[in-house]
Amino acid sequence: IRKGRLPNLSQLGGLGSETYTDEVYERIVSRICVLKSLDYVKESLHQLKPLNHEDSIIHPEHGVDSAIIRSLLTFVLVENLLCQLDGQEVVEIGAGIATFAATVMTLSTPKRYTIYDLPDILELQKLFLRRVLPSSKFDRIRFCSAHEISGNESFDLVYSTYAFSELEFSVAEKYLENVVKQSKVGFMTYNHLGSKFHVRNMEIFDLCKRLLAGDSCTESIEIRADELFKLGAGGDPSCCNVLWRMR
């Protein structure tokens, strides 16, 4: 994507999705069913079908691509392990094509959903979300430039898949102080690939130490084996989910 030039949304089919085998789909559905009923899964997948891109690889039985089934799993984990999202102030750091945001806005009704990302990517997210959400849902989403982090707001949930863990250290510190610490609970999927891409990122234990430092309001931190990519779907085997609560 060249700066200032956005491709047609039709050219982004499958962005953020991978090719999952039937076994991986069934493992993800089985993991969701530990927390929710099979009827819930079927109804949720039915509601999420409009989020598919025309060119993405759709599972013939479940009717969604891998990015959507992954987002449903994460949505269920967040709601069961941290908080229900209806009426909440949610903020996401680095939303990709915004599949998770679309999933949240389809299956729940947050008070507001804020996305921090690079300006060109925000424009892509707007194109996608306008296409898949009704205006009443789209109008609850706020798009904020990563270059303009204010720190004057509070949130109920901060969420990030990989994006935070891939930020350069000084940028991650800015988000930590102005967004992460201003949120009551947090859920991040963390990878450990900074050195591979020559990025001095904030390692997971640096994040935990900073959440607990000084007169911290952090009540608990939990590091869980990643329930997305250890299902056999590829990815960095060292990935993990980090969850925390503030007092």
* Residue 49, CA distances (Å) to 21, 60, 221 in order: 19, 12, 34
* pTM summary value: 0.89
* Residue 168, CA distances (Å) to 53, 156, 182, 238 in order: 31, 25, 20, 19
Q: What is the pLDDT of residues 141-198, one digit of tens each?
A: 999 999 999 878 999 999 998 899 989 999 999 999 999 999 999 999 887 666 666 7
Alpha-helical regions (H) of 38-168: 38-48, 66-81, 99-107, 119-132, 135-138
Token digits of residue 22: 């039937």
CA dihedral over 14, 11, 159, 242, signed as positive or negative: positive
- CA 190, CA 98: separation in Å to the nearest integer? 18
What letter would DSSP give residue 247?
-
For residue 157, the model assigns a pLDDT of: 98
For residue 190, the model assigns a pLDDT of: 86
Kindly report the backbone phi and psi dihedral angles of residue 86, in degrees, each rounded to the nearest multiple of 5, phi listed first: -60, 130
User: Would you tell me how many other CB atoms lie within 10 Å of the CB of residue 192?
Assistant: 15
Mean pLDDT over 81-109 rounds to: 97
Token digits of residue 183: 């949120």
For residue 82, the model assigns a pLDDT of: 95
For residue 88, the model assigns a pLDDT of: 98
Asked if 67 and 95 touch (Cβ cutoff 8 Å), the reply is no
- Please give the residue that has the higher pLDDT: either 86 or 223: 86
Say if residue 66's pLDDT is above 80: yes
Mean pLDDT over 57-83 rounds to: 91
- Name the pLDDT band for 131 (thresholds 50, 70, 90): very high
Min mean pLDDT across 50-54, 95-99, 156-160, 177-181 is at: 50-54
- Please give the residue that has the higher pLDDT: either 3 or 147: 147
For residue 15, the model assigns a pLDDT of: 54
To the nearest whole percent, how much of the chain has pLDDT over 90? 61
Say if residue 1's pLDDT is above 60: no
For residue 233, the model assigns a pLDDT of: 47
Min mean pLDDT across 88-92, 96-100, 101-105 is at: 96-100
For residue 232, the model assigns a pLDDT of: 44
- CA 134, CA 17: separation in Å to the nearest integer? 23
Mean pLDDT over all residues of the chain?
Answer: 87
Q: What is the pLDDT of residues 199-222, one digit of tens each?
A: 889 988 899 999 998 777 899 999
